Structure formats: C-alpha cells, structure tokens
A = this chain, B = another copy of it.
Amino acid sequence: MTTVKDVARAAEVSVGTVSKVLSKDQTVKPALRARVLQAVETLGYKPNLAARALRTNRVSMFGLIVPDITNPFFAQLAKNIEAEAGQVAHTVMLANSDDDPEKEAQQVETLLNQSPRGLIVVGASRAALRGIKTQVPIVSVDRRYGSYRLISTDHQKASAMVADHFFGLGHRRIAYISGPQSTEVGRLRKKGFCDRISELATTGDPVSLVTREGQFNYLSGEENAYDLIGQAPDVRPTAIAAASDQQAIGALRAARDVGLAVPGDLSIAGFDDITLAGLVVPRLTTVAQPSGQIAKAAVHALLEEAADGGRDQVIAAQLEVRGSSGPAP
C-alpha cells in the first residue's frame, strides 16, 4: 500500500503537508497543493482509514440495527439510510436484533465497539431499558430504543388522514382493524383513526365505528374482514381501514371471496405502502411512510449532535389514494 510517506516523497513535501491537503486545510499554497494532488493521483493513494480512525477517534460509519431486515419497511429504511450516509461519505453497518431485547443489546455493543459515528436503532418490541454508556450518539427510528430520541412517522396524523378520506367519501359505517395494542405503533395508529372519527361524528353526520384488534399480518386482516363483511348489507361497514397493508390486502381477498366489489361495495385502505400495495387489484389506497425523510433526519441528527439529548421528531406521512377506495355505495 502507498502511504502518506510515499506521497510526501513523490511530491517533495512533508507528510504533514500531505495530510493538510487531504483534509482540505486552506493554508497550503496552491503550488504545493497541486504537487501533492498530482502525486496522490499518480500513486493511486488511498488513506488508511484505520490509521485515521485511531488518530481522530472517529470512523466514517453508522451502525444500523433493525428487528428484521426482511421486513419490507425496514429494508426500505435501510436502503434510504445507506443512500443518505453515502451522501456524507459514510458507510453503514447493518445488524438484525430479531426483535429480541437480549440480542439487540448484544448487537448494540458489537456495533459500538467499532466506535461508529453514530447508531441508528429501530427498537425491539419489548425492549429492556438497561442504560449503556457511550460517547457515540444514538437515535431511535420508528420504534423507540431505550430512552433515546425517536424519529418516526406521525402515525396518528396519518391515520387521521385516512379517517378524513373515508368520511369525505361519504362513508358512515366504518370499521378499523388495528394492530396489536401491545405495540406503540398499533396504539398510535388506532388512536389517530378513532379520535378523528369521533371528532367528525360529533361535528357532522353520525358515524358508526367498529374496531377489531388484530396482528399486523395478512391472515389477521383476512379473518377480521370476513367477520365484518359477513353481516347484513345494511349493517356491514362500507369502508375498512387497516393498520397495515398486509391486513388490508387480506381484507381485499376476503371481499373478493364473498363477492363484494372494491371499491363499489366496500372501500379499503392500508398503511405502509409496501411494494405489493401497488400491485394488487385494485391498487391499495394507503399511507406512505416518509422513509426517505426519516432516514435523512436520522443521519443528520447523528452528524450534528455530540451526544443524545435532541428532541423527538415526528414526520408527516402522505396518503396515497388509489383504486381501493371510493364513494360510499
């Protein structure tokens, strides 16, 4: 490997000068700078990052811990974070916690040992709050990790947008299939939807709202939807909002099976905007989480603050109105 020394020799300057040129120090005279740059070019010099890290105690890496990279939303998030990190010339280390607090703690430690520039973690569901002491700034994203600041979608407001959408289309018998109320996300999404419906129901026409608790998965959506739409036509809901796209797609399937037209007889909306949401027939009305903005906010939060202590940040999501929702029958 060629080192600063080689470059210094070739450019006939000291290693200190080489280092200054490389770190864009302005105090080097143009003539010297040119010689150094020339030497770097011809020698194909690449700085040894380990040496730099040792000296500066700072590595151009972020650590990212997600419960499961196989989850489409986390994969999208990881992709955006990697892209955003690339913008500031950082690389990202990825680890999975399998949604297990034990393993999460271990992964945090492993990544921290690399002394990265910062750590981004999507907390495991029932995370323990054991404190870790480190100089490395940490932010949580989507689901809080420990007591670190959280950057996430505004789940409540987003759900409220779905409620507005349905109400605006004239629906007055509405159902909500929630996520598990043991999760914060499940609670926030439900609260946002139900609170808004209550609000609309008191200021406008009366609305009948029925809610069902489910898992976030496909099957749960299908089963709950079957139950809901199995009722008499003048009783069953004309619109179903689900806490996840997977649930909504399950509901779509249920509607198809019992012969209800979507959106003619029944409107359906999901949450997340996974790839499949745009592929099903009809395409699913859903909430697109601002994964790109979350990624950007997380990276910049880490870059700017020395330790944690920033405030939580909530980012507006966007309603994607597509074919699965329409005017009430």
Contacts and interface: CB of A to CB of B under 8 A. Distances in A.
Contact of A94 (B94, B111, B219, B253): B94
A54 B48 contact: yes
A113 interface: yes
Contacts of A64: 94
Interface of A: 46-51, 53-54, 57, 59, 61, 64, 68-70, 72, 75-76, 78-79, 82-83, 86, 91-96, 110-111, 113-115, 217-219, 253, 275-276, 279, 281
B96 A79 contact: yes
| A-B pairs, 10 with minimum CB distance | A50-B53, A94-B94, A50-B54, A70-B75, A218-B279, A75-B75, A51-B54, A69-B75, A91-B93, A69-B79
15 contacts: A46-B113, A49-B114, A50-B57, A51-B54, A54-B54, A61-B114, A68-B79, A72-B72, A75-B75, A79-B96, A86-B95, A91-B93, A91-B110, A92-B95, A94-B94
B91 A275 contact: no
B95 A93 contact: no
A72 B276 CA distance: 12
B93 A93 contact: yes
B50 A115 contact: yes
Contacts of A72: 70, 72, 75
Nearest to A257: B281
Nearest to A112: B46
Contacts of A82: 69, 94-96
Contacts of A46: 113
A49 B276 CA distance: 42
A318 to B, nearest CB: 19
Nearest to A109: B46
A171 to B, nearest CB: 27
Contacts of A69: 69, 75, 78-79, 82
A54 B54 CA distance: 8
Nearest to A48: B54
Contacts of A48: 54, 115
Given A92-B93, A279-B218, A70 B79 contact: yes
A113 B59 CA distance: 12
Contacts of A86: 95, 110
A50 B59 contact: yes
Contacts of A218: 279
Nearest to A116: B91
B94 A93 contact: yes
Given A54-B50, A69-B75, A219 B93 contact: no
A223 to B, nearest CB: 12
Contacts of A253: 281
A200 B50 CA distance: 59
Given A72-B70, A281-B253, A78 B94 contact: yes
Nearest to A218: B279
